[in-house]
Amino acid sequence: MNVIEINGVTKNFPAKRFSGEKIKALDNVSFSVGSGEIFGLLGPNGAGKTTLVKILLGITYSTAGKASLFDKPVTDVNIKRKVGYLPENHKFPNYLTGEQVIDYFGRLSGLRKGDLEKKTYKYLKIVGMDEWGTTKIKKYSKGMLQRLGLAQAMISNPDLIFLDEPTDGVDPIGRKEIRDVLLELKSQGKTIFLNSHLLSEIELICDRVAILNKGALIKEGSVEDITTSENKYVFLTSDLSDAIMNKLLVEHKSTVQGRNEFSCFVNGVEDVNKIIDYLRSSGILIHGVSREKNSLESMFINLIEQKN
């Protein structure tokens, strides 16, 4: 089942008062997110990520198109019970302690007092903040505030959690801890929707991603599909002679990385096999053949540059 369905969603903001001009924050965006997935929405600043999350949460409305959560329109108030949200740049009153923040949001979610006492510390512990529960949050670091925000998003035990830039400004160890919490939530069957411009993070935990640029969806798919090159293969071999290397260079635009490794462009799997036949008939041993992998970051930069 799809937990999130987005169909042709467009959002225009007025650019300047009375000017009649519009900012197209989202332009005919469609995709869906399945149950139990960690889904990453990527894009440069201003791409429309936060606007899309706000539409899904019913905080703002789309100009056109349809969106639903759990097969219900996003305007249905009953679905809010199933949803947790960590806003971008959240600000909790800094005279509260961590415990009081979680208690406050727990009560907003309708949890009862007795129930809450146990749950507050359960979730503070999950995010590694239980020892800081009685400390005022003005003493917290950015990473600690983000982890508290994460506990806040989880307190009502929602099935779907939206996290807008959860690791922004967090140091590498804090990021790893946040990733571990997200993986733990996934193992409990929760669906996680993550907005981020930090691509290496996404690559490590997301099952699928969508890339937004200037309001338009430019790519969507599994991290595996997006980062695997269609037509570039890497070969690991025994020592190659200069003659073989030259032939590969001329015929397959290969790039040689030392005597035992080269990568080349092919027009399909037949080409790969022809290269293997050629190498084998030349007495070369093959140690490995694989499709080339790109980092999500390099794919992302290529895609964004093509569109600009």
Ligand X SMILES: Nc1ncnc2c1ncn2[C@@H]1O[C@H](COP(=O)(O)OP(=O)(O)O)[C@@H](O)[C@H]1O
218 binds ligand X (CB under 6 A): no
Strand order in the sheet with 83-86: 83-86, 160-164, 191-196, 38-42, 208-213, 216-222
How near is the Cβ of 239 to ligand X at its closest, in Å? 50
49 binds ligand X (CB under 6 A): yes
Q: Extract the tokens encoding 169.
A: 């400004």
How near is the Cβ of 271 to ligand X at its closest, in Å? 40
Q: Are 124 and 99 in contact (CB under 8 A)?
A: yes
Pattern 159-178, binding to ligand X, x per CB under 6 A? --------------------
Closer to ligand X at the Cβ: 62 or 156? 62
What residue 25 binds from ligand X, Mg ion, none (CB within 5 to 8 A, per partner kind)? ligand X
How near is the Cβ of 58 to ligand X at its closest, in Å? 15
How near is the Cβ of 124 to ligand X at its closest, in Å? 28
How near is the Cβ of 209 to ligand X at its closest, in Å? 14
Distance of CA 273 to the CA centre of its chain: 36
Closer to Mg ion at the Cβ: 202 or 279? 202
196 binds Mg ion (CB under 5 A): no
Contacts with ligand X by CB under 6 A: the residue count is: 11
Interaction with Mg ion in 71-90: which residues (CB under 5 A)? 88
36 binds ligand X (CB under 6 A): no
237 binds Mg ion (CB under 5 A): no
What residue 65 binds from ligand X, Mg ion, none (CB within 5 to 8 A, per partner kind)? none
d(CA 224, CA 1): 22
Strand order in the sheet with 255-256: 255-256, 261-265, 228-237, 286-293
What residue 9 binds from Mg ion, ligand X, none (CB within 5 to 8 A, per partner kind)? none
* Pairing of β 255-256 and β 208-213: unpaired
Closer to ligand X at the Cβ: 14 or 93? 14
50 binds Mg ion (CB under 5 A): yes
What residue 61 binds from Mg ion, ligand X, none (CB within 5 to 8 A, per partner kind)? none
How near is the Cβ of 64 to ligand X at its closest, in Å? 15
109 C-beta neighbours (distance < 10 Å), count: 16
CA geometry: angle 12, 18, 20, nearest 5 deg: 45
Q: Are 8 and 29 in contact (CB under 8 A)?
A: yes
Q: By the criterion CB under 5 A, which residues form the site for Mg ion?
A: 49-50, 88
Q: By the criterion CB under 6 A, which residues form the site for ligand X?
A: 13, 23, 25, 43, 45-51
